[in-house]
Amino acid sequence: MNYAWEAVLLAEKSKKDRDSLRFIEAACPSPYIEVSVTDLNAQTIEGDTIEINPLYRFEKMFGRLFDKNITDMRQTRALLFDVCMHYVVQLDLREGLTKEDFYESRIAVDIQGGIYGEAARKRFRLFRKPEQKIIIHACLMLMKSENYMMGFKTAVTGVYPHACIYENNETAYELLVYLGADETDEERERAAFLREMFLPIQETVHFFYEHHFGVIDVDETMVVDEMVLF
C-alpha cells in the first residue's frame, strides 16, 4: 500500500464508507510513500483516519498551502486538507475511466436510486462491493446483447463461485440453480434479486442452497443426507 487511493480501496473492502474516511497530515511522513503506515503489506485500514504525506506527489501544489511551519487556523487547514485529499482520491480512481465504466456507474445509481423498484434497491445493498460490480457488469451485458440467460449466468456464477445452473429439458422456461451457500433469509433475498433483475416473468427458478439436488448416475450428487430430492 503506497498511495491514498489504495488505502481507500482497502477500506471499502472492509465495508467502510468512503465519505466516513478522514485524511490528516502524517506526523512523521516518509519521503518514499504517500500513506504513512507501519506495515506496508497491511490489507486493512485500522480506524477511519488515514495519514498522508501531501508532498510525496503534490509538493508544488500543496507545499506552501500545508506548510507545517504555519500554525494559524489549524482546524480550518485540517478541514481543507481532508477535502483536498478526498478530491485527489476521486480523480485517481476515475483515471482511465472507459465508456463501460461510465455506463455501469449509471446503472448502479439507478438501482440505488430505486429506478428498478424499492425491493431491488434494498436487496442490492445485501451484496458486497465486488459482488455489486459483477452484477452491474452483467446488467450492461444484458442491455447490450438482450441475452437474459447469459446475463443471469454471469451474475450468479460471479457472486456464487460454486454455483451450477441447469435448464429443465422436460419443462420449458424452468431453471434449477444450485448456489452452494447456506440458506438464510439474506441469501433468499439475494437470490430473489438476481432472479427478478435478469429473468423474464415466465421463467421459473428453483434455488438450491447448501445441498445439491440428486442427479442419477452422478455420484457426487447422490450422497445420503447431502442431497435434495426434486
pLDDT of residue 34: 84
Q: Helix crossing, 4-13 with 74-94: angle to 10°?
A: 80
* pLDDT tens readout for residues 27-54: 777 777 888 776 666 667 777 888 888 8
* pLDDT tens readout for residues 70-109: 777 878 888 988 998 899 888 888 776 678 888 998 999 9
Q: Read off the pLDDT of each residue in 171-189 and give the average, rounded to a whole number.
A: 90
Q: Is 222 a residue whose pLDDT tops 70?
A: no
Higher model confidence: residue 221 or residue 2?
2
Higher model confidence: residue 54 or residue 194?
194
Q: For residue 161, what are the CA distances in angstroms to 114, 131, 164, 226?
A: 28, 11, 9, 19
Q: What is the pTM of this model?
A: 0.59
Q: Is 60 a residue whose pLDDT tops 90?
A: no
* pLDDT tens readout for residues 127-178: 998 899 999 999 999 999 989 999 999 999 999 998 888 888 778 888 889 8
pLDDT of residue 133: 92
Q: Is 211 a residue whose pLDDT tops 80?
A: no
List phi, psi (to 5°) of 204: -100, 135
pLDDT of residue 132: 94
